[in-house]
Chain A
Amino acid sequence: MSQDTLFDKVWDLHKVSSLPGGSDQIFIGLHLIHEVTSPQAFGALKDKNLKVKFPDRTVATVDHIVPTDNQSRPFKDNLAEQMIETLENNCLEHKIRFFNIGSGNQGIVHVVAPELGLTQPGMTIACGDSHTSTHGAFGSIAFGIGTSQVRDVLATQTIAMNKLKVRQIWCENQLSNGVYAKDLVLHIINKLGVKAGVGFAYEFAGPAISELSMEERMTICNMSIEGGARCGYINPDEKTFSYIKNKLCAPKNEHWEKALTWWKSLKSNEDSIYDDVIKIDASKIEPTVTWGITPGQSIGINQQIPLLDELSLNDKLLAEEAFEYMSFKPGQSIKDIPVEVCFIGSCTNGRISDLRIAAKVLKDKKVSKNVKAFVVPGSEKVANEAKQEGLDQIFKDSGFQWREPGCSMCLAMNSDKLIGNQVSASSSNRNFKGRQGSPSGRTLLMSPAMVAAAAINGKVSDVREFIN
């Protein structure tokens, strides 16, 4: 059993009680809500005649269903309009702070909370969204919950949960040029498998992790869940503190010094005990692309899609299913596979640094005429910052469509969808069957830089040929 890790410290601090069944009652320091997984939770509160216990600990925004072309109200999609109205009414009724469209702070919930300084080290953070693990980048313990647990957090600010085990993923050496956090996390998921993290929190550590910016760290923690780990985190350091400083909701004045002292005490002790430790050599990783129907089915850009004989019996079945769905052949190179749609955005890679990297690749280049390409900033703040830097113009000049913030084609709950069996190069997090809105649509996950390269060439390409 783990001891003295950040996870242990934060868990113990937030433990309210041991429940009769044996699980722990854990206090949730920050609760984030959005329009998709909260309406039924508010409905259940009403049915049970309960109030929101601490409205100041819940913050709302709208992201999943918002259109990215025309955001004027009412939305064209009646169901989407009904969902945003329900959220507006629930927030109003229960006095919950809501960052609505046009507030300057709306966006994907996992982009918004960090950029507002809401996400801080040592907190427990829950949200009805599996990518809540993103916030672990700050040394918080953050995890996705379902709607019944959203109800529990609203009513009690606590949930019942079994303590997770802790696996440290030690990333040695440094990523090479043209290889990004997305490549690292795809590589980790490939090596460990998509279910290795079940029952675990992942602590990402080592020189390659320390070197990453806060936004890159968010990309890593964001995809913990794709490796099965509900929670992923990184010990906070000077980069964490300076990212938070001066943000809207960051501690101010005398509170800042107090916070800093406390945050510094949180990191895993040098002699902490882990349930498991895994080592990864970051220097050996290439730009990485998925070829299948789970985020674990990925290869380096210069590799071939595996032959069935190279796979374990278990992986073989899923590979066969993937070959059939994707219409790819074992042994085929991933490089040069034609793509029809290119999507840059999502809670994984829709932040300002992602847009900067993609824009750098796209500057003075044109998107292939066979490709529909669009970029969806992760938040209104990201969009505004990008505009100030002229990135929107670089995207538009290259042939990318510049859209309004939201989750968009990561899960295609709005009108941004693949059509038929189109192949998309996507900076998002899931390549599940049908994920991007068409039951036969095909998704290749990669870094935003690699999406930009694919857009220019109209096929999967090595971004290092553009930047070196």
Chain B
Amino acid sequence: MKSEFNPPIGKITQINGQCISLIGNDIDTDRIIPARFLKCVDFDSLGESVFEDDRETLKGKHPFDLEENKNATILIVNSNFGCGSSREHAPQALMRWGIKAIIGESFADIFYSNCIAIGIPCFTLPRKSIQEIQKNKDNKFLLLEIDLKNSLAKSKDLILSLEIKETSRKMFLSGEWDATSTLLENESLIEKKYNDLPYLEFNSYLL
């Protein structure tokens, strides 16, 4: 785990870093961060426990334990990554370990929204391209420059055209991925909706 954690803020346009591959479909959020680590009232110490049980099983051979990966920032995964529980602790743990962007075949819906909400862009590539990257024996040295403006990832001998939801891409480029303030700008519309919804009067005695 990196010594100091600085959460991303503002516009995210470029992410440069070393790739780390994690092979397997349907890697769920219980595996990313087992439930016992959810007994906390902040996210601060989650980085060291990321993939705890998988790492324990592999006794030092898990990609997140290999010396050559210790500075990696771009995670390469397969399909349906982050399925299962909605725990934001999962992307928080990845981020606090050092991950700044994820490239995969596909992502589970809630995990994807959680990543966007905390400033981790998630890109997709076809299975073949992912497997090419993961097969590469020199993968540990694969350095990518991700350019969000053009949805491209470049290395010294590779150019990848990345897919990302247009809504997410725009949010990162404008810095509006931290949604609260954008949502609050429509305060009068929110209040109008609150007053107009047909059902709130049905249970207005709730409190």
Contact = CB atoms under 8 A, between A and B. Distances in A.
Contact of A17 (B26, B110, B186): B186
A32 B65 CA distance: 38
Interface in B71-99: 79-80, 83-89, 91
A158 B183 contact: yes
Contact of A413 (B31, B36, B42, B178): B36
B41 A43 contact: yes
Interface in A148-170: 148-149, 151-152, 155-162
Interface in B159-193: 165-168, 170-171, 174, 176, 178-180, 182-184, 186-187, 189-190, 193
B154 to A, nearest CB: 25
A378 interface: no
Most A CB within 10 A of own CB, among B24, B83, B205: B83
Interface string A102-140: 000000000000000010101100001110100000000
Contact of A36 (B31, B38, B201, B203): B38
B113 A149 contact: yes
A101 to B, nearest CB: 17
Interface stretch (A49-57, A178-186, A272-280, A453-461): A49-57
A234 to B, nearest CB: 18
Interface string B35-46: 110111111000
Given A53-B190, A56-B207, A160-B182, A148 B117 contact: yes
A13 interface: yes
B199 A148 contact: no
A255 B201 contact: yes
A83 B80 CA distance: 31
Nearest to B111: A146
B41 A40 contact: yes
Interface in A297-323: 314, 317-318, 321
Contacts of B205: 252
A141 interface: no
Interface of B: 24-26, 28, 30-31, 34-36, 38-43, 53-54, 56-57, 79-80, 83-89, 91, 106-110, 113-114, 117-118, 165-168, 170-171, 174, 176, 178-180, 182-184, 186-187, 189-190, 193-194, 197-207
Given A156-B190, A439-B34, 15 more contacts: A13-B197, A21-B167, A22-B170, A27-B197, A36-B38, A86-B41, A130-B110, A145-B110, A155-B183, A194-B26, A198-B80, A228-B83, A294-B28, A318-B24, A434-B34
18 contacts: A14-B193, A19-B182, A21-B167, A21-B170, A50-B180, A50-B184, A97-B207, A146-B117, A148-B178, A149-B113, A198-B107, A249-B203, A255-B203, A411-B35, A433-B30, A437-B35, A439-B34, A440-B57
Interface of A: 13-14, 16-17, 19-23, 25, 27, 29, 36-37, 39-40, 43, 48, 50, 53-56, 59, 64-65, 77, 79-80, 82-83, 86, 95, 97, 118, 120, 122-123, 128-130, 132, 143-149, 151-152, 155-162, 194-195, 198-199, 225, 228, 230, 249-252, 255, 258-259, 262, 294, 314, 317-318, 321, 411-413, 430, 432-435, 437, 439-440
